[in-house]
Amino acid sequence: MTITRKGTAMRVLYVRPYTHRDTGRAVTASDSLGFNVTCADALQAGLTGRGVEVTSVTGGGEGRTAWVGEVLTAFERQLTMRPPDAVLAFHAFWPFTVELRRVMDDAGFGGPLVTYTHGSHWDPTDLFRFERYPRLAWADLGNLMCADRVLVVSEWMAATIAAEVRAAAPSAAAELVPRLRRVGLPLDLPRIDAARRPEDPGAPVVVFNHAPVAAKRPEVFFELAAELMRRTPARVLVTRRFPPASALERLDPARVRLGGDLPIDDYYAALWGAHLQVSTATHESLGVATLEAMATGTCCLLPRVGAYPEITDPDALYGDTGELLSRLVELVGHPEPRRDLAARQMARTRAAYSPERVAAAVHEVLLEVAR
């Protein structure tokens, strides 16, 4: 059991993130569909396993605006009913961390506030932020500045935020950078393993499990997949819903499975059955979709961008799409090298991003501020 200075179990008020409700349309934000559920669950389970008393706060409103109001109301009620030792927010944007701090100040609660950031306007490659919320860069920074500690998912993310903020606002960076803590993000391995099934015995399946956003370059993947299917018997699995009139429609429908925002457990089962996963992204702060594929023994090929070099070995990285296509053709036709790389990735991922390991890192930060 985790003991605080008062001799009782550490109490954490855990503000969970927004999750998408199915509307039948393509969901552009990865966080509102997948890891806001699975990684948030895994973190709570990991902290509970360490003896932390976790009280979860979330909302059920239709749409984000209603959800934010419900969360802040529930947060204020929990904060005043039974003050925790620390507040932990899973996502700096849902709700805004500055709103949590405002509620804490109004309630007279002087305890620590710790928040995750999973993407940022202070990462120039995070195109989704600039497309969806082009005028929120300083609000983004305000969310980070009002937290006592900011949890980041990779060394690359920490270094990028530090460099960009330092260039724009040196005094803000002087305060923020010492508060950054790289802790990673936990995969829900029990749920992933519960969905386990044998590898598909047919022609190799190449999966694309990224969001339909510009920084993930899905059109590049679909064009590459068309050429791969001309050269090999490979099949393609797309686990997210894409808008009409994309290059996806030009692929051979007999060899393409469209998941359409697969439910989580079906999604994990599909990854277990796949053989290869590909990223064509120009932005990646960590790569949860890729790590989930690795955790199921799917062989992943990734560009040398963002945090990808942190999560795999050099054999999995490529320089351009020509090199990627050559590697795919080779690995489709030669299962042993593919399985060898997949096994190394699987072992590394499960060790580095288990709920136990990441929760231990987050726990250390919570103890640091609670003292």
* Tokens found for residue 371: 């003292």
Tokens of 143: 């969310």
- DSSP code string of 196-211: --PPP-SSPEEEE-S-
Strands (E), 193-333: 205-208, 235-238, 256-258, 276-278, 299-303, 317-318
Q: How many CB atoms lie within 10 A of CB 68?
A: 17
- Predicted confidence band of residue 7 (pLDDT cuts 50, 70, 90): low
φ/ψ bin of 306: left (φ > 0), alpha (ψ from -120 to 50), beta (otherwise): left
Band the pLDDT of 245: cuts 50, 70, 90. low
- Residue 95 predicted with pLDDT over 70: yes
Phi-psi region of 7 (alpha: psi -120 to 50; beta: other; left: phi over 0): left
For the residues 254-283, what does the mean pLDDT come to?
A: 93
Q: What angle do CA 7, 9, 10 make, to 5 degrees?
A: 105
Strand partners for 96: 93
- Per-position DSSP letters for 62-113, written without gaps between them: SSHHHHHHHHHHHHHHHHHHS--SEEEES-SBTTBHHHHHHHHHHTT--S-E
For residue 355, cis peptide bond before it (omega within 30 degrees of 0): no
Q: Which of 59-63, 190-194, 321-325, 344-348 has the lowest mean pLDDT?
A: 59-63
In which region does residue 260 sit, left (phi positive, over 0), alpha (psi from -120 to 50) or beta (all else)? Answer: left
Query: Which tens digits make up the pLDDT trace of 11-54?
Result: 999 999 988 655 444 444 444 457 888 999 999 999 999 999 99
Helix (H, G, I), strand (E, B) or coil at 303: strand
Do residues 241 and 261 make contact, with C-beta atoms less than 8 angstroms apart? yes
Confidence of residue 250 (pLDDT cuts 50, 70, 90): confident
Rounded to whole angstroms, the Cα distance separating 51 from 280 reads 40
DSSP state of 146: T
Describe the strand order of the beta sheet including 11-15 as a list of residue ranges.
53-57, 11-15, 86-89, 113-116, 149-152, 180-182
The pLDDT tens digits for 287-325 are 999 999 999 999 999 999 999 999 999 999 999 999 999
Question: Whole-prediction pTM value?
Answer: 0.93
Q: What CA–CA distance (Å, rounded) separates 170 from 151?
A: 20
pLDDT score of 359: 98
Mean pLDDT estimate for the chain? 92
pLDDT given at position 261:
78
Pair 365, 54: CB distance under 8 Å: no
Residue ranges of domains in the chain, CATH in brackets? 11-186+354-370 (3.40.50.2000), 190-352 (3.40.50.2000)
Cβ atoms of residues 234 and 332 within 8 Å = yes
What is the enclosing helix (H) or strand (E) of 150?
A: strand 149-152
| CA–CA dist 282, 310 (Å, integer) | 15
Contact 37/19 with Cβ under 8 angstroms?
Answer: yes
